[in-house]
């Protein structure tokens, strides 16, 4: 072997510094996820459906409801029923879009931290949910004023300011259940079917069990998330025990499954 010697007075060029790209800010990730919700056909029509069904439900109350039932609560209930189904579907599609549309490889190459991507999806989902509820409340208010004027009765505002946040929270809980199922299953069809099972089938099974087993009657509110969600929609979650029940069902149906889903998602292969 021979050693390479550098003559005196000879200068060597330093290796060029490697440029590192600044991390993508969370605000940009949230904007991208919001754009994805509107750009896909399914997400676009889901969001359009919220506005259309809100108007249809408002018109139905005005046309078919008796004069005594033309109240703000009637409009809020009519609008809330379709929204309680559509909003969780939006949350599911927000998560599963990376796998159902096979864009996950691109997304996670640009942003290797999968936790940041899922966090941005969660923030975007909350923004859409709160925005949709604001639109629903506004449409209901307009319908209440127009309906009472057409019926010739006094305008009744029977939804208190303390009840409105609970209604919003109830819808966000439903969206969180859908978001959790999307994270765990990562398939749109499976997550949607799973949501209808836990929201329609499971509550009936738990109610039947509570009716035939006295020991389960007191336990049901602590494990049945649909029970605590209905309490929120009714604005009946007031005591510390009732909030504790909400926390218990949230832990069982959202926090623990979501943690398991995130661990699985971080280790799973992306096609």
Measured CA to CA in angstroms, residue 64 lies from 60, 67, 116, 172 at distances of 6, 9, 48, 29
Return the ∠ at Cα 267 (arms to 261 and 268), rounded to 5°.
80
Residue 103 has pLDDT above 90, yes or no: no
Give the pLDDT score at 164.
86
Separation of alpha carbons 162 and 111, rounded Å: 40
CB of 217 closer than 8 Å to CB of 210: yes
- Within 8 A by CB and 6+ apart from 200, the residues are none
Q: What sign has the CA pseudo-torsion 233, 234, 235, 239?
A: negative
Separation of alpha carbons 174 and 250, rounded Å: 10
Residue 120 has pLDDT above 60, yes or no: yes
Q: What is the pTM of this model?
A: 0.85
Tokens of 18: 């490697």
Measured CA to CA in angstroms, residue 148 lies from 28, 73, 145 at distances of 44, 13, 5
Residue 180 has pLDDT above 70, yes or no: yes
Q: Quick one: angle between helices 26-39 and 72-100, nearest 10?
A: 100
Q: What percent of the chain has pLDDT over 90?
A: 28
For the purposes of burial, counting CB atoms within 10 Å of the CB of 127, is it exposed (0-12), middle (13-18) or buried (19 or more)?
middle
Reported as a pLDDT band with limits 50, 70 and 90, residue 112 is confident
Q: What sign has the CA pseudo-torsion 123, 127, 133, 137?
A: positive
Give the pLDDT score at 245.
93
- Within 8 A by CB and 6+ apart from 49, the residues are 82, 86
* Better pLDDT: 114 or 3: 114
CB of 99 closer than 8 Å to CB of 189: no
Return the ∠ at Cα 185 (arms to 180 and 186), rounded to 5°.
95
- Within 8 A by CB and 6+ apart from 246, the residues are 173, 228, 231, 232, 237
For the purposes of burial, counting CB atoms within 10 Å of the CB of 76, is it exposed (0-12), middle (13-18) or buried (19 or more)?
buried
Q: Over the stretch 133-174, which tens digit does the pLDDT of each residue have? A: 888 888 889 988 998 888 888 888 888 888 888 989 999 999
- Within 8 A by CB and 6+ apart from 38, the residues are 44, 47
Residue 98 has pLDDT above 90, yes or no: no
Q: What sign has the CA pseudo-torsion 57, 144, 38, 100?
A: negative
Q: How many helices (H) and strands (E) does the chain have?
A: 13, 0
């Amino acid at each position: 072997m021979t050693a390479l010697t550098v003559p005196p007075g000879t200068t060597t060029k330093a290796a060029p510094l490697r440029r590192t790209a600044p991390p993508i800010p969370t605000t940009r990730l949230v904007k991208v996820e919001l754009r994805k919700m509107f750009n896909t056909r399914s997400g676009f029509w889901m969001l359009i459906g919220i506005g259309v069904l809100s108007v249809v439900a408002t018109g139905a109350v005005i046309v078919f409801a008796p004069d005594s039932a033309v109240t703000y609560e009637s409009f809020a209930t009519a609008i809330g029923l379709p929204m309680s189904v559509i909003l969780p579907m939006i949350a599911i599609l927000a998560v599963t879009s990376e796998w159902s549309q096979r864009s996950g490889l691109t997304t996670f190459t640009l942003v290797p931290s999968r936790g940041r991507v899922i966090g941005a999806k969660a923030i975007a989902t909350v923004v859409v949910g709160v925005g949709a509820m604001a639109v629903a409340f506004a449409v209901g208010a307009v319908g209440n004023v127009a309906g009472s004027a057409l019926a010739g009765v006094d305008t009744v505002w029977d939804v208190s300011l303390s009840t409105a946040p609970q209604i919003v929270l109830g819808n966000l809980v439903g969206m969180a259940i859908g978001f959790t199922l999307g994270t765990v299953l990562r398939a749109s069809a499976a997550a949607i079917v799973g949501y209808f099972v836990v929201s329609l089938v499971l509550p009936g099974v738990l109610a039947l069990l509570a009716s035939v087993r006295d020991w389960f009657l007191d336990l049901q509110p602590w494990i049945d998330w649909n029970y605590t969600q209905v309490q929120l929609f009714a604005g009946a979650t007031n005591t510390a025990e009732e909030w504790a029940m909400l926390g218990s069902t949230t832990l069982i149906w959202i926090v623990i499954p979501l943690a398991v889903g995130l661990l699985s998602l971080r280790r799973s292969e992306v096609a």
